[in-house]
């Protein structure tokens, strides 16, 4: 592997830092001293964090790594995850505290206290028992962001059944493969879901999937949109018939710390999705600890909002398990950010006095595109911590976020982690870290991560390579459902000799030793022997005032190995056509100036939209198909499959 070209260090010339204010630091949950404590004795540190939870039986060993890469944490410990997220808060006298301020897309809302949450989850657990669900059974949850989705997840946890949440935007086919792989017994769904102000049917996809997947005994249906549905007698049951008549009391059983909690499917390099398996004790310990430390949650005063969908890991860990285990009061919003208008998020923040807001760079850049005058119309003064997750955040977006949403004062925490890691691994601590726009900075106390070269040797400060996790962590995946070999191959073979977990991300150290994530390694381009990250070029492009969004791919090039091809969305008001040619010339020069001539895109295409997955990740694979003049590949995981037509037709007409 070649070292990054010295001239490519544009991200590293980003040298603004934002130390925490004295007031923030004085009240922070996590201080710098935490790093020292964790470094002195990692296992003792995690044992201490486990004290955040209520255990039915103590463990006799913090970590058993003797069967690596299969970890066991808090060996011998027993707990009930749902009890930790619900009942214990009622028992400690907080039954009247609002757990969830739920906001429906059409404007309906519901406040759910911890006492009510306990009753709802108990009823759901009793209903699931009646439907034949027991410990270790799998339950597929295919729902929009309605409260029953959270009740269902917690009911599964309470019974020791594994949930497998499938994002409500996925197709019947995607649902079927996931049901089949996990052999789910029950599917929980809704009749329909609201999407951009209109009800859209959801149950037909379940009918289609279940007709082909043999394992499903029942489909439990929540009425959300009052959409007419087809009904299979004996199989389909309404939530309001079966759940509502149950007793609202249910005694939770304690399960082993390593009892499986959930499966969550994530796409891999092959077409077949991987069922990432998480277990109970270690997962909940790290989810709870990271939520407390990274977001500085104060359960008595904060109002927290994570904008993810429960169909993704961020929704699992930072809507359900982390926050609820910490007795959060949180907002859960059902809909899209521009329904009915582009200020919806800011309106919700103002309405509930949201103090902690956690979202994704792609949404931040969309907000930038819509304009800073929109958030400026709302009172956002309640905000005190802002978070980012999902992809590298370019410095421009980071600064825009802090300035326009955070009043130029709130800490911004850029949190790196994966479905596989279960919870946050690399992130600033808002009261202890001088933050740097664009950098996730340091592994959290208790976590170890390194940037290594091809041989697995740690690179020096200023150097780039692969991100690895060189010590096991409590919320690590325990495998891929039903495929031990694939687990070893995917994550543990690349640096097998060293025993490192290979995250699949490229990263760099800056001169201070802080970590900058550079995107997936398959997104790292090699141009004339120089490694250039797509992120670096994107970041340079987006820093130009005419660019709203940019995606960069490496296209095969006979001379240079790969050539840089950029797709850009220009900001409103910048004309296309002949002016477009001017704009493109200016952008090539700009990238050359920001990074160096080597990073100048071979080609820049002005497009109206970028192809994104439903979780907002840009599908560079499809852009590479365009850049290399190939037939465009599989578009089924796109949020909007017409985007590729738009892009191709725009290009043919000479844009």
Least separation in angstroms between residue 419's CB and ligand 6R9 is 3
Please report how the helices 395-404 and 361-370 are oriented relative to each other, as an axis angle in degrees rounded to 10: 70
Using the minimum distance from each CB to ligand 6R9, give the nearer residue, 225 or 394. 394
Which residues sit in the known binding site for Mg(2+)? 542, 544, 547
Binding site feature residues: 195-198, 314, 338, 390-392, 414-419, 505, 520, 528, 531, 542, 544, 547
- Residue 602 or 621 with smaller CB distance to ligand 6R9: 621
d(Cα 158, Cα 133) in Å, to the nearest integer?
A: 11
Question: Alpha carbon of 247 to those of 130, 131, 221, 488: distances in Å?
Answer: 12, 15, 19, 45
Q: What share of the chain is helix, strand, coil (3-state, %, to 5)?
A: 35, 25, 45
Q: Which residues bind ligand 6R9 (CB under 6 A)?
A: 266, 312-314, 389-392, 414-419, 440, 503-505, 517, 520, 615
Closest distance to ligand 6R9 from the beta carbon of 84 (Å): 22
Q: Phi and psi of 152, rounded to 5°?
A: -65, -45
Backbone angles phi, psi at 235, to 5 degrees: -100, -45
Check residue 599 and report its DSSP letter: G
Taking the complex as a whole, the smallest distance from the CB of residue 115 to ligand 6R9 amounts, in Å, to 32
Smallest separation, CB 314 to ligand 6R9 (Å): 5
Least spacing, CB of residue 312 vs ligand 6R9, in Å: 6
Residue closer to ligand 6R9 by CB (options 571, 614) is 614
Rounded-to-integer distance, Cα 345 and Cα 356, Å: 13
First to last CA, the chain: 36
Q: How far is the CB of 438 from ligand 6R9 (least distance, A)?
A: 9
Rounded to an integer, what distance in angstroms lies between the CA atom of residue 365 and that of residue 518? Answer: 18
**Known binding positions for ATP:** 390-392, 414-419, 505, 520, 531
Query: Are 437 and 411 spatial neighbours (Cβ–Cβ below 8 Å)?
Result: no
Question: Cβ of residue 54: shortest distance to ligand 6R9, in angstroms?
Answer: 27
Give the helix/strand (H/E) hosting 555. Answer: strand 547-557
Residue 281 CB, nearest distance to ligand 6R9 (Å)? 21
Q: Which residue's CB is nearer to ligand 6R9, number 109 or number 418? A: 418
Is the separation of the CB atoms in 57 and 254 below 8 Å?
yes
For residues 511 and 107, give the distance between their C-alpha atoms in angstroms, rounded to a whole number.
49
- Rounded-to-integer distance, Cα 473 and Cα 536, Å: 30
Instruction: For ligand 6R9, give the closer residue by CB, 118 or 441.
Output: 441
In the complex with ligand 6R9, which residue's Cβ is closer, 342 or 483? Answer: 483
Cβ distance to ligand 6R9 smaller for residue 248 or 470: 470
H-type alpha helices, 534-616: 534-542, 578-594
Identify the CA nearest to 383 among candidates 348, 421, 355. 355
Q: How far apart are CA 90 and CA 76, in angstroms?
A: 27
| Pair type for strands 515-520 and 501-509 | antiparallel
CB of 285 or CB of 517, closer to ligand 6R9: 517
> Residue 392 or residue 472: which is nearer to ligand 6R9 going by CB?
392
Q: How far is the CB of 315 from ligand 6R9 (least distance, A)?
A: 10
Closer by beta carbon to ligand 6R9, 360 or else 584: 360
Q: How far apart are CA 237 and CA 233, in angstroms?
A: 8
Q: Write down the least CB distance from residue 351 to ligand 6R9, Å.
A: 27
Q: How far is the C-alpha of 323 from the C-alpha of 207, rounded, in Å?
A: 33
Q: For Cα atoms 573, 574, 580, give the angle at the middle one, nearest 5 degrees.
A: 155
């Amino acid at each position: 592997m070649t070292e990054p070209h010295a001239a490519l260090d544009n991200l590293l010339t980003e040298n603004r830092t934002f130390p925490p204010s004295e007031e923030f630091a004085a009240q922070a949950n996590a201080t710098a001293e935490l790093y020292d404590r964790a470094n002195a004795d990692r296992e003792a540190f995690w044992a201490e964090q486990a004290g955040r939870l209520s255990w039915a039986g103590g463990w006799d060993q913090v970590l058993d790594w003797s069967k690596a890469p299969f970890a066991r944490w808090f060996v011998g410990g027993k707990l009930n995850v749902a009890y930790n997220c619900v009942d214990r808060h009622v028992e400690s006298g907080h039954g009247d505290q609002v757990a969830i301020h739920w906001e429906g897309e059409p404007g309906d809302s519901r406040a759910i206290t911890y006492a009510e949450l306990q009753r709802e989850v108990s009823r759901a657990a009793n209903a699931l028992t009646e439907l034949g669900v027991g410990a270790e059974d799998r339950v597929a949850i295919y729902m929009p962001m309605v409260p029953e989705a959270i009740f269902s997840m917690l009911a599964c946890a309470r019974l020791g059944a594994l949930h497998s949440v499938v994002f409500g935007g996925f197709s019947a086919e995607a649902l079927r493969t996931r049901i089949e792989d996990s052999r789910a017994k029950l599917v929980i769904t809704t009749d329909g879901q609201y999407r951009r102000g209109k009800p859209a049917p959801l149950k037909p996809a379940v009918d289609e999937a279940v007709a082909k997947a043999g394992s499903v005994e029942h489909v439990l249906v929540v009425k959300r949109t009052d959409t007419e549905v087809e009904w299979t007698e004996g199989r389909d049951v309404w939530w309001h018939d079966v759940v509502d008549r149950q007793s609202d009391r249910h005694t939770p059983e304690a399960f082993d710390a390593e009892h499986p909690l959930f499966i969550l499917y994530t796409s891999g390099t092959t077409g077949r999705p991987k069922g990432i398996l998480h277990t109970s004790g270690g997962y909940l310990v790290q989810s709870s600890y990271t939520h407390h430390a990274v977001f500085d949650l104060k359960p008595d005063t904060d109002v927290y909002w994570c904008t993810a969908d429960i169909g993704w890991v961020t929704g699992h860990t930072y809507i359900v398990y982390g926050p609820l285990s910490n007795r959060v009061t949180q907002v859960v919003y059902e809909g899209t950010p521009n329904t009915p208008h582009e200020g919806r998020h800011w309106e919700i923040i103002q309405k509930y006095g949201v103090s902690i807001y956690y979202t994704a760079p792609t949404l931040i850049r969309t907000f930038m595109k819509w304009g800073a005058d929109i958030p400026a119309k709302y009172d956002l003064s309640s905000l005190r911590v802002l978070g980012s997750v999902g992809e590298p955040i370019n410095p421009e977006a980071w600064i825009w976020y802090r300035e326009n949403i955070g009043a130029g004062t709130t800490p911004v925490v850029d949190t790196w982690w994966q479905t596989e890691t279960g919870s946050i691994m690399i992130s600033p601590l808002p009261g202890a870290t001088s933050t740097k726009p664009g950098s996730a900075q340091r592994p959290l106390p208790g976590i170890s991560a390194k940037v290594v070269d091809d041989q697995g040797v740690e690179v020096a400060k200023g150097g780039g390579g692969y991100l690895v996790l060189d010590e096991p962590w409590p919320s690590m995946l325990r495998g891929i459902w039903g495929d031990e070999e694939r687990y070893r191959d995917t994550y543990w073979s690349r640096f097998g000799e060293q025993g490192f977990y290979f995250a699949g991300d490229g990263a760099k150290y800056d001169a201070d030793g802080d970590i900058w994530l550079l995107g997936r390694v398959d997104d790292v381009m090699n141009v004339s022997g120089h490694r250039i990250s797509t992120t670096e070029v994107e970041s340079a492009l987006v820093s130009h005032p005419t660019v709203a969004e940019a995606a960069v791919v490496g296209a095969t090039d006979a001379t240079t190995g790969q050539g840089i091809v950029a797709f850009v969305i220009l900001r409103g008001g910048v004309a296309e056509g002949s002016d477009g040619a001017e704009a493109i010339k200016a952008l090539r020069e700009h990238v050359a100036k920001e990074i160096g001539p080597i990073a100048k895109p071979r080609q820049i295409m002005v497009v109206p939209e970028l192809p994104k997955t439903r979780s907002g990740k840009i599908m560079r694979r499809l852009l590479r198909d365009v850049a290399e003049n190939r037939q465009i590949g599989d578009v089924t995981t796109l949020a909007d499959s017409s985007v590729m037509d738009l892009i191709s037709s725009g290009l043919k007409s000479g844009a």
